[in-house]
Amino acid sequence: MKSSTITTLYAVLVSLVRASPLGAVGLSEGTTAVTQPAVTFIGSLVNDVEYYRGIPYAQPPTGNLRLRPPKPVENVGIIDATGIGPACPQFTTAGSSPVLNRVVGVPGVAEGLFFASAQGNETEDCLTLSVMRPGNTQPDEKLPVLFWIHGGAFQTGSAQPFNASVLVPRGVSQDKPFILVATNYRLGGFGFLGGKEILEDGAANLGLLDQRMALEWVADNIASFGGDPNAVTIWGESAGARSVFDQLALYDGDNTHKGRPLFRAAIMNSGSLAPAEPVDGPRAQNIFDTVVDAAGCGAVPSSEKLDCLRGLDVETFANATTQVPSYLSYNNLALSYAPRPDGRTLTASPETLAQEKKFAAVPMIIGTQENEGTVFGVWPYNVTTRAEAISYLSDVYFPDASLEQISHLVDLYTPCTVESTVTTSVNETYPEFKRLSAIFGDYEFTLIGRVLLDLTNENELSWSYLATYGRDTPIVGTYHTEDLPRMFAKTDDSSRAIQDRFISFLYHLDPNGALADRTSPRWPSWQESRELFEFGASSVGVLDGDFRDNIFQYIRDNLNEFRH
């Protein structure tokens, strides 16, 4: 199932998926099995890594279970987990931008954006996960578990592109073997539809509930794969990183299942807090009403609208959910579908939960790319003046903020600040490109992450990093998603520097590793010195973490007004 309009970007990504060696992971070079009393999982063995892919962790969310919280599934019999798992329905409809083709054509950029695409057939029956472990792992080994949540703006992506061919062998080579788990979750209108009808039905934030159920499946089953359910680290990028914080904050920080914590640590790449209007607020309600009307359910009574949506065939419902702006458009990060406070599972906006300490206190790593906003700056290409930038941010991004507040934010990004924030090797692609890219990057990723870092303390140590290895990349610099191939596909020194420190964190809850094998230079905790670890193209080091402090303070002090 595909949306009617496919962007140039998505077409490029699809071609990359088909051509990539990642697509061959499901081709069995041998088989392996994990047996429980009621079920046997058949997996594939490829280059000393065992893959168990497409394992159901919840009942199919179809028919009457559409737009409802997930229900657990009982795995029984023999489950063939040797193929490529499914992908949840994607939202790829988008606008166009003359800047987009230039960005996709930059050498190396499509490599990172590839991971935002889906691999596997799109189907509503998509609540599956993959377990990947070193070959010949025994059930009693109690290996730590890295639980991956993919990004894609809560609209695209899947677990399938994230294989273990680089990371798991690296852990083995460092005498730190571990298990990697990657999960699907419902996207777009299937998983993050808002509106008062959704709130009243208890159907909000379904994608987050899917992730929570996948974590519960890990808690109940990973021991039979040789994993330790008491040593799980949750990890995500972009929307996946936002999901990681939301998992910390769900149920006001209750991360327990059957009396035990579901995870003991967290890693957030390019995302953390995301201030949000409530699930029944004006923005979410407008999206709901648009979807209902497009689906032909607008004339039914309010109490019957969800039943009407559940009764539709999947193509009709999917098409209706794409009649709103996608993140591949002028609206970009003013997302139509995203987690929102519902008063039940996500009881308040994430920054409020953080301020009130209503999140699981675990060690965490929070980091960003130097130029997070550039790939999003390609969309508002017709914004060419300061006045137009203010109008754009007011109309699209920050509807609750006053023009005075938005004007002040825009003016904080002086030419000097913008140049230091968006370091690229070419000039502006349009007159406001660098300023808007800097605002997107700081508000959505870099400086909002500092807000969370400042709310942690010595009892929940945190570390932060800044990646600068892409400074020579034209137009986009060290762009959003560039870290993904470095984590999952590359073996050069700069990639190994990140992989090794994340694996050390998984093992020791400290990216520096155990006292006996500390790497150099040392990565200080945020509480210790408010410093960042820099991952450069040819070296690593430590940076002052207080850059753009005036902008940080302004964003921090106006988070309530800057929700969207």
> What residues are annotated to the active site?
238
Side-chain half-sphere exposure of 451, counting CA atoms within 13 A? 30
Closest CA to 269 of 181, 363, 182, 367: 367
Cβ burial, residue 172 (10 Å; 0-12/13-18/19+): middle
Q: 245 near 267, Cβ under 8 Å?
A: no
What is the spatial distance between Cα 467 and Cα 482, in angstroms, rounded to a whole number? 9
Q: 277 near 340, Cβ under 8 Å?
A: yes
Q: 118 near 10, Cβ under 8 Å?
A: no
What is the spatial distance between Cα 154 and Cα 140, in angstroms, rounded to a whole number? 36
Helices (runs of H) and strands (runs of E) counted in the chain: 21, 15
Closest CA to 129 of 215, 18, 192: 215
Closest CA to 146 of 24, 224, 254, 236: 236
What is the spatial distance between Cα 509 and Cα 263, in angstroms, rounded to a whole number? 12
Size of the chain in residues: 564
Contacts of 276 (CB under 8 A, 6+ apart): 338, 339, 340, 341, 349, 350, 563, 564
DSSP assignments along 505-554, one per residue: HHHHSSTT--GGG--SS----HHHH-EEEEE-SS-EEEEES-TTHHHHHH
Cα separations in angstroms, 338 against 117, 208, 328, 354? 18, 10, 15, 18
Contacts of 295 (CB under 8 A, 6+ apart): 308, 309, 312, 316, 317, 320
Contacts of 211 (CB under 8 A, 6+ apart): 149, 183, 185, 243, 247
454: which 2 tokens?
């400042």
